[in-house]
Amino acid sequence: MEEMTLKVSCSLYDQIFKPSKLQLNADFHMFKAGIEPKWEDPECANGGKWSVTCNRKTNLDSMWLETLMALIGEQFDEADEICGVVASVRQRQDKLALWTKTASNEAAQMSIGKKWKEIIDVTDKINYSFHDDSRRDSRSAKGRYNV
């Protein structure tokens, strides 16, 4: 049975789209059914996002895959707070963002951030920003929470 599970996992891994294959300045997202990847969506309107940057395409692909597997495998205690994940391919560095519903729920966001950091195996600090702050001034929006 374990061998069967491993074969299925490897097969799924090979089939999952790798964000590093995107063209420059493209975004790729995976959100829960019924939620659109935009600030105006009612499920995202009062939320925010955890963000991490990476310089190597292999890191982006690995973090994307680990995040998807964690979401599918329900590894987050606060899974109902998570809206989806976005991979962004940029000139200088790529970015992965985990969008959540209720930015003001600090306890839930900290739990999600700590777990996600563990899942994607990042040692640097990651930041959480409120969508409201980003809407007002996307260039200077600062992280409200850090882990």
Cα–Cα distance, 70 to 18 (Å, whole number): 16
With beta carbons less than 8 A apart as the criterion, state whether 125 and 146 touch: yes
Of residues 17 and 118, more confidently modeled? 118
- Pair type for strands 145-146 and 127-130: antiparallel
Q: Please check the confidence at residue 2 and state whether its pLDDT lies above 50.
A: no
Of residues 39 and 140, more confidently modeled? 39
- Digit-coded pLDDT (tens) for 103-133: 999 999 999 999 999 999 999 999 999 988 7
Cα–Cα distance, 53 to 65 (Å, whole number): 15
Q: Please tell me the predicted confidence (pLDDT) of residue 133.
A: 75
> What sign has the CA pseudo-torsion 32, 41, 130, 78?
negative
Q: Please tell me the predicted confidence (pLDDT) of residue 73.
A: 86
Residues 6+ apart with CB under 8 A from 126: 50, 51, 52, 113, 116, 117, 146, 147
Q: Please tell me the predicted confidence (pLDDT) of residue 141.
A: 57
Instruction: Determine the average pLDDT of the residues in 63-72.
Output: 92
Q: Please tell me the predicted confidence (pLDDT) of residue 1.
A: 35
Q: Please tell me the predicted confidence (pLDDT) of residue 11.
A: 55
Nearest 5°: the CA angle 46, 76, 118 is: 105
Cα–Cα distance, 102 to 131 (Å, whole number): 10
Residue spans of the domains in the chain: they are 2-146
The pTM assigned to this predicted structure is 0.84
Class of the CATH-defined domain 2-146? alpha beta
Average pLDDT, the chain: 85
Nearest to 84 by CA among 127, 27, 21, 122: 27
Instruction: Determine the average pLDDT of the residues in 81-88.
Output: 96
Q: Please tell me the predicted confidence (pLDDT) of residue 72.
A: 87
